[in-house]
Structure 1
Amino acid sequence: MHGTIQSISNGSRFWFLRGNMVWNILPPYLLGTAIVVSVFVFITVIPDPGLVLVLVGTFPWIARLVPRLGGLDIAKPSNAFACGVAVTLAQLLAGASGPLLDVFYLKSSLNRYQVVATKAFTQTLGHFIKLLYYGGIASIAVDVIDPLLTPGLLVGSISLAVIGTWLGTRVLDRVAENTFRDVTSKIILALSAACIARGAWELFV
């Protein structure tokens, strides 16, 4: 259920802001994604997600300390390719890639509308790939079906996700560019810390 709602939430976010999508980022990004998916199809990798979560959470902190990484820009083809590889790896290995993905956008030349729209599209794509890989190729269900999960609950959850997403896009109109990047930076580090904590818990507890 979580994966489905995330896909719809990100998909609706992209739809609301589709006019701001930066399409020329997609070719190198999709090339990186395709390479990773092709490798996974042949070797069916199912690693310890705890370790991957720790790595995903660590990367944004490293990017803060290493200027070269801190200057990553998704608008550059080479960076978009690297983003496609890294984010798809994280999605398939741990099911999460948010903090890692954000590093490529934080210092980019895109404005806040372009950042949110383009991220939403690639995140939607990532969720679909994850669902396809674990639900089909690896024959592992992504979401465990809860007997309490009724059609009404599913529809209600999806509706709330879409409404919340729409309200979130309206907030962009009221936030200055510098404020958006400053707040995003803090959120990235908070999510990164959460990834590290969750990964460590899965590894050692």
Structure 2
Amino acid sequence: MIRYLPLFILLSLLAEMLGTIGGFGSSVFFVPMASYFLDFQSVLGITALYHLSSNISKIAFFRKGFDKKLALSLGIPAVIFVSVGAYLSKFADPQLLTYILGIFLILMSLIFIIFKQIRITPKTGNAIVGGTLSGMSAGLLGTGGAIRGVTMAAFKLKKDQFIATSAIIDLAIDFSRSLVYINNGYVHKHDLYLVPILIVVSVVGTYLGKRILDHVSQEQFRGFVLILILVIGIATILNTIFNTTEP
């Protein structure tokens, strides 16, 4: 059993709430947070299983329809390349992947904090590129929601449609990478006790996130979410450095 389990559960709940509010999905917060408690490959495995229930919860709570065309044009390449990224993760140094994750979070947050008006043209080709990049990132680093969220924002979906469409794509991504991670040996029997705990966390966190979104606009939280991603990215790199230098 991991140390400080109550703290892990509390932070997982916060990640689920923020992932729902920001529209990125919880992995952008959960992966770096869980890296403090588990080794990186275990984090990849448990995140994929956790996200299956997380996305089912989002589909249930935000079921007012989704954009079928966008789900296919963005989702199909994402599913293909998440399997590629998940397979390649077996050959990469976990410590290197943790550094890449931290740098990725820092760069993504800074780009959208500094260039607030940045937009992606709502074209099918851009959706395919966004799906490819988000899928590869999700497979290798455990999170690709930020890239997918930025791509989807160009299509100006309603809030419920945005989250439902993202969750459907994410569900397919997580199912695909779960199979590869299991084959890679990332899902360990001694970590499986976390799955039922995280299923409850995903339902409660999604519900609380939805209640907040009912009263506060998503744009008001965008800056807060981006700042938090930046902080998590910096903390992830610092944590890796300190763990590496420990005797």
Task: Give TM class, smaller chain.
Answer: 0.7 to 0.9
Which residue of 162, 187, 202 maps to 2:203?
162
Give yes or no for the alignment of 1:100 onto 2:147. yes
Shift in Å, 1:165 = 1.7
In 2, Cα distance between the equivalents of 1:43 and 1:173?
40
Structure 2 distance, partners of 1:41, 1:98, is 15
Asked whether the 8 Å contact 1:25–1:80 carries over to 2, the reply is yes
The answer (yes or no) to whether the contact 1:49–1:199 under 8 Å persists in 2 is no
**Cα 1:125–1:56, aligned 2, differ >3 Å: closer, same or farther?**
farther
For residues 123 and 106 of structure 1, the distance between their equivalents in structure 2, rounded to whole angstroms, comes to: 16
TM-score by length of 1: 0.75
The number of residues matched between the two structures is 194
Shift of 1:25: 0.5
Separation in 2, partners of 1:171, 1:100: 23
Shift of 1:115: 1.8
Given that 2:83 and 2:176 are in contact with CA atoms closer than 8 Å, whether structure 1 keeps it comes out as: no
Equivalence for 1:53: 101
Match for residue 232 of structure 2?
194
Q: Does the C-alpha gap of structure 1 residues 156 and 83 become closer, same or farther in structure 2, counting only changes over 3 Å?
A: same
| 1:120 aligns to 2:167 (yes or no) | yes
> How far is the alpha carbon of 1:29 from its aligned partner?
1.1
Secondary structure at the residue paired with 2:91? coil
Regions of 4+ moved over 6 Å: 41-44
* Residue 36 of structure 1, aligned match among 71, 75, 81: 81
In the other structure, the counterpart of 1:3 is: 48
**Percent identity, aligned pairs only?**
22
Unaligned runs of 5+ in 2: 1-45
- State yes or no: 1:181 paired with 2:219: yes
Q: Which residue of 2 aligns with 1:145?
A: 189
User: Any idea what SS the aligned residue of 2:176 has?
Assistant: helix
TM-score (structure 2 length as normaliser): 0.64
The alignment's C-alpha RMSD in Å is: 3.2
Deviations 1:47-67 (A, max 9, x none): 331233034211232244457
Distance 2:72 2:110 in 1: 28
